[in-house]
Chains A and B, each alone.
Chain A
Amino acid sequence: MSKILITGMGIVSAIGNNVQETLLSLQEKRSGIAALHYLQTSHTEFPVGEVKMSNGEMKKMLDISDNVPTTRTALMGMLAVREALCHSGFDAQLFEKQGVDPFLRVTGKRVALISGTTVGGMDKSEQFYLDFLENDTHNAYISTHDCGACTEMIADYFGIFSQVDTISTACSSAANAILLGAELLKSGRADIVVAGGAECITKFHLNGFNTLMILDKKPCRPFDTTRAGLNLGEGAAYVVMQREDSTQTKSLAVLSGYANTCDAFHQTASSPNGEGAYSAMKSALENANLQPQDIDYINAHGTGTQNNDASEGVAIVRLFGSKIPPVSSTKAFTGHTTSAAGGVEAVISILVLQHDFIPENLNFSEKIAALPFIPYVGAKKISPLRHILSNSFGFGGNDTSLIFSKA
Chain B
Amino acid sequence: MSEIYINSIKQISAQKPLTDEWFDAPVRYSENYVRAIDPDFRQYFAPNVARRFGKILKRALVVSQKALEESDVTNPDAIITGTGLGCIENTELFLDKLVREGEELLNPTQFMQSTHNTISSLIAIEAKCHSYNTTYAHKGISFECALQDALLQLQSGGIKTALVGAHDEMTPAYFTLLQKAGFLGQANQTFAGETAVAMMLTNQKTEKSLCKIENVEKFYGNVETWRAASLQVSDIDYIMLGTNGVAETDRIYYENCQKLFPDIPLLQYKNIFGESYTAPAFGVYAAALCLKNGKIPDFLEQRAKLVPPKRESEEQRQNAVRKILCYNQLENKNHTFVCLTSKNLTPKK
A and B associate in one complex: yes
A239 at the interface (CB under 8 A from B): no
In contact, B98 and A162 (Cβ under 8 angstroms): no
Q: Mark A378-402, 1 if CB is under 8 A from B, else 0.
A: 0000000000000000111110000
In contact, A146 and B139 (Cβ under 8 angstroms): yes
B236 at the interface (CB under 8 A from A): no
A327 at the interface (CB under 8 A from B): no
CA distance A223 to B116 in the complex (A): 29
8 A Cβ contacts from A255-269 to B: 260-268
In contact, A161 and B131 (Cβ under 8 angstroms): no
Q: A176-B134, A264-B130 are in contact. Are A148 and B84 (CB under 8 A)?
A: yes
8 A Cβ contacts from A185-225 to B: 186-187, 189, 203-204, 207-208, 210-212
Stretch of A24-32, A77-85, A163-171, A298-306 at the chain-chain interface: A163-171
Stretch of A10-18, A47-55, A124-132, A307-315 at the chain-chain interface: A124-132
Total number of A residues with any Cβ neighbor in B under 8 Å: 67
CA distance A139 to B177 in the complex (A): 8
In contact, B106 and A207 (Cβ under 8 angstroms): yes
A184 at the interface (CB under 8 A from B): yes
CA distance A265 to B334 in the complex (A): 36
Chain A min CB distance to B110 (Å): 8
Stretch of B38-46, B206-214, B215-223, B309-317 at the chain-chain interface: B215-223
In contact, A142 and B139 (Cβ under 8 angstroms): no
Chain A min CB distance to B126 (Å): 9
8 A Cβ contacts from B315-349 to A: 333-334
Which residues of chain A have C-beta atoms less than 8 A from B139's C-beta? 146, 148-149, 152
8 A Cβ contacts from A353-373 to B: none
Chain B min CB distance to A154 (Å): 12
A87 at the interface (CB under 8 A from B): no
A136 at the interface (CB under 8 A from B): yes
Chain A min CB distance to B115 (Å): 5
A20 at the interface (CB under 8 A from B): no
In contact, A142 and B181 (Cβ under 8 angstroms): yes
In contact, A168 and B117 (Cβ under 8 angstroms): yes
In contact, B131 and A142 (Cβ under 8 angstroms): no
Which residues of chain A have C-beta atoms less than 8 A from B127's C-beta? 264
In contact, A167 and B134 (Cβ under 8 angstroms): yes
Q: A110-B230, A146-B85, A398-B121 are in contact. Are A263 and B130 (CB under 8 A)?
A: yes
Which residues of chain B have C-beta atoms less than 8 A from A397's C-beta? 121, 124-125, 133
Q: A162-B221, A207-B103, A261-B133 are in contact. Are A396 and B115 (CB under 8 A)?
A: yes
In contact, B95 and A42 (Cβ under 8 angstroms): no
In contact, A262 and B181 (Cβ under 8 angstroms): no
B156 at the interface (CB under 8 A from A): yes
CA distance A139 to B180 in the complex (A): 7
Chain B min CB distance to A283 (Å): 9
Which residues of chain A have C-beta atoms less than 8 A from B293's C-beta? none
CA distance A166 to B143 in the complex (A): 11
B99 at the interface (CB under 8 A from A): yes
Which residues of chain B have C-beta atoms less than 8 A from A163's C-beta? 218-220
CA distance A148 to B127 in the complex (A): 28
Chain B min CB distance to A3 (Å): 16
Which residues of chain A have C-beta atoms less than 8 A from B100's C-beta? 130
Most chain A C-beta atoms within 10 Å of own C-beta, residue among B102, B106, B131, B134: B134
In contact, B85 and A142 (Cβ under 8 angstroms): no
A405 at the interface (CB under 8 A from B): no
Interface size class of B (residues with CB under 8 A): 35 or more
Contact of B111 (CB < 8 Å), options: A146, A211, A276: A211
CA distance A210 to B127 in the complex (A): 30
CA distance A239 to B199 in the complex (A): 33
Contact of A261 (CB < 8 Å), options: B130, B176, B181: B130
CA distance A207 to B220 in the complex (A): 35
In contact, B95 and A147 (Cβ under 8 angstroms): no
Chain A min CB distance to B325 (Å): 18
In contact, B177 and A132 (Cβ under 8 angstroms): yes
Chain B min CB distance to A398 (Å): 6
Chain A min CB distance to B44 (Å): 18
- By beta carbon, the residue of chain B nearest A279 is B130
Most chain A C-beta atoms within 10 Å of own C-beta, residue among B99, B118, B176, B219: B99
In contact, A262 and B129 (Cβ under 8 angstroms): yes
B302 at the interface (CB under 8 A from A): no
Which residues of chain A have C-beta atoms less than 8 A from B106's C-beta? 207-208, 210-211
A275 at the interface (CB under 8 A from B): yes
In contact, B135 and A266 (Cβ under 8 angstroms): no
Chain A min CB distance to B112 (Å): 5
Chain B min CB distance to A349 (Å): 21
Which residues of chain B have C-beta atoms less than 8 A from A166's C-beta? 136-138, 142, 145
A118 at the interface (CB under 8 A from B): yes
8 A Cβ contacts from B259-276 to A: none
Stretch of B27-35, B147-155, B245-253 at the chain-chain interface: B147-155
Chain B min CB distance to A348 (Å): 23
CA distance A170 to B155 in the complex (A): 27
Which 3 A-B pairs have CB atoms at the shortest separation, nearest pair first?
Answer: A396-B121, A148-B139, A208-B111
A-B contact pairs, 19 of them (CB 8 A): A41-B103, A118-B117, A125-B95, A146-B84, A149-B139, A155-B220, A163-B218, A166-B136, A168-B136, A169-B116, A183-B156, A210-B103, A212-B108, A212-B112, A262-B131, A264-B129, A394-B117, A396-B117, A396-B118
A residues sitting closer than 8 Å to B (CB atoms) are: 41-43, 108, 110, 118, 120, 122, 125-126, 129-130, 132-133, 136, 139, 142-143, 146-149, 151-152, 155, 159, 161-170, 176, 180, 183-184, 186-187, 189, 203-204, 207-208, 210-212, 260-268, 275-276, 279, 394-398
